[in-house]
Chains A and B, each alone.
Chain A
Amino acid sequence: MLGTTIILAFREIRRHVLRSFLTTLGIIIGVAAVVTMVTLGNGATAAISSQISSLGSNLLTIRPGQGYGRGGGGPSPPPFDEADTEAIRKQVAGVLSVAAQSSTSAIAIFEAQNWTTTVTGTTNDYFAASHLQLSAGRIFNEVELGAGKSVCVIGSTVQTNLFKEGDPLAKTFRLKDISCQVIGVLETRGAAGFGPDQDDQVVMPIKTVMRRLTGNRDVRAFQVAVDPAYDTKAVSAAITALLRERRKIASGDDDDFNIFDSKQLSDTLSGTTKTLTALLGAVAAVSLIVGGIGIMNIMLVSVTERTREIGIRLAVGAVQREVLMQFLVEAAALSCLGGVIGLLLALVATFALSPLMGIPFGFDVQINLLAFLFSAAIGIVFGYFPARRAASLNPIDALRHE
């Protein structure tokens, strides 16, 4: 009995290819849209979070100047100096390390290659605070740092442009007017999305940079690693107070430096991407509903024809249950088929779009299941209930349905 019903249902699906296709299409679009959007949204959130965490968590970056991007007017604010570094290290609670940075841009020349890059003068704290790993070689030793030796750790972009395929370790290249020996190579980080490109830099001991490249003792930035047990906001406030005092800023005047808190940024951004994912989800839900309305329409449009069909089946002796079972199987088969096609389409779309958008490919079981069940339910409900109404008519009324 059930086998026959299933055969009958599939016969009807096959006989009405266009109707079946249109019914399925609504579900396909609904499911594919929701799953694709939510999956990509989640991927973007994950990508942003991982980029932020790659900057180093609990990291404060302090630079002279107000906020992001300097305004036009006024003299540029004075840089920091090494005394500030010591003051922060010693006077602020919760500070693990302070990496002072002095930077300049310079042309690097090796054999026939030259490359303009950023030279960062700093200490070994910089690598730890910025979560920079070495792919080869080593970081500075005490002697190199103390004496300001001309050694460097280069980023992968610099490595590629200067040394091509060759091994850069222990090679010496020319940087502006000095020669510099490579002792280490940084692991490729990729476009960080925030801050300067950390692959395109030459890291040298800060003393070397000050003495031989910039010719001054200016510190352009600090990277302060904060003890995870401390709140970065409190540490940031303490540093602000200290620097205001040291830079003699009158109370009421604005800070002439800014503190970039990676944790705060991370919280803000992940909040934003969550909002965006919710928005995308809402847009997708609308398309699911639109798809559902499409299903409803085609089901209701075909109800006249189908009511007559039900009348014929009843007239030749089908009992109500047999007719309904057939319609239920039909609706369920179409809905599930549409759902599965929709999921596959979403899988292909997310798989193809993720690399283009630079986000990790992810498969979210929950959203797949939710979209599938929702659209299948719509298909079944709107396939089944008009049939139930028709099957409860007197056969003659069903036959005469206009």
Chain B
Amino acid sequence: MSEPLIRLRGITKTFGEGATAFQALKGIDLDVDKGDFIAVMGASGSGKSTMMNIVGCLDVATSGSFTFKGVEVGTLERDQRALLRRRYLGFVFQGFNLLSRTTALENVELPLIYRGDDAKARRSTAMGALERVGLADWSDHTPSELSGGQQQRVAIARAIVTQPQVLLADEPTGNLDSERSLEIMALMRGLNQDSGITIMMVTHEPDMAAFASTIIHFKDGLVERVEQNRPIPFRGGVGVGHVQNSGVLTAPTPGPSPEGEG
């Protein structure tokens, strides 16, 4: 078996020092292969977001080994981790984190600016990403002029505009109503299946986790169990309850999803 895209071994993370220290992660072992769609679930404070931030190179582990494409991330410099984010990773946050007073297009262009694309290429690539999320007509609107669902789609466009290998989403539907949430999930699954982007998503909504091929349950800073899931076909209705609670690591069953985003 070839090297997994992401490999965590014995990852711990401690916040604070001395008596007030809090160990958010107590030793995480996890492999993520290219093309996986992983949902991470767990109660608040179970460490799922902390793990995501470490995988996303936004934060560093206290101990343990994290390799990305075989490279040990823990030994990299700040700026090398930044370059890793620039080239391979895309982020979607619960709070969107778009630049205020900045148009959707300019927000999406931001990663391309740091990648060094010239203005013309930047514009067309960013427009392409906005089209992909269905917001081509909204490119000159600022976040305050967009709905929550639209803002999150802009954030997704920004995350995928560099064609990253991994899309990390921390409760991407946490601030959205269920209809918008389902749109976002459909969009993400489309990205996973059509563009082959590996997705790692933190959520505490089973409805959203149901879109993933693998569900990882966190509890008290440890992986409680890993569950293979047959992703639900999406169209209309509310698809729930297709979670196969096998508990056995089997090859992910490709979902029969005929179409991408809605």
- Residues on A lying within 8 angstroms of B by beta carbon are 1, 4, 8, 11, 15-16, 305, 308-309, 311-322, 394-397, 399
Contact = CB atoms under 8 A, between A and B. Distances in A.
A316 B111 contact: yes
A308 B98 CA distance: 10
A322 B97 contact: no
Contacts of A394: 58-60
A308 B91 CA distance: 15
Given A317-B83, A318-B82, A396 B58 contact: yes
A318 B114 contact: yes
Contacts of A313: 110, 114
B232 to A, nearest CB: 31
Interface size class of B (residues with CB under 8 A): 20 to 34
Contacts of B87: 317
Given A395-B58, A399-B97, A320 B79 contact: yes
Contacts of B56: 315
B93 A399 contact: yes
A17 to B, nearest CB: 9
A313 B102 CA distance: 13
Considering residues B59, B87, B98, which has the most beta carbons from chain A within 10 angstroms of its beta carbon?
B59
Nearest to A318: B114
A310 B110 CA distance: 12
Most chain-A Cβ atoms within 10 A of its Cβ — which of B87, B89, B101? B101
Contact of B86 (A1, A308, A309, A317): A317
B99 interface: yes
B86 A399 contact: no
Given A314-B58, A318-B82, A394-B60, 8 more contacts: A15-B102, A312-B97, A314-B85, A317-B162, A318-B114, A319-B82, A320-B78, A397-B59
B58 A315 contact: yes
Contacts of B79: 319-321
Contacts of A397: 59
A319 B85 CA distance: 10
Interface string B91-133: 1010001111110001000110111100000000000000000
B230 interface: no
Contact of A315 (B60, B78, B91, B113): B91
B158 interface: yes
A58 B93 CA distance: 83
Given A394-B59, A395-B58, A316 B101 contact: no
Interface in B49-104: 53, 56, 58-60, 78-79, 82-83, 85-87, 89, 91, 93, 97-102
B97 A311 contact: yes
A32 to B, nearest CB: 29
A129 to B, nearest CB: 73
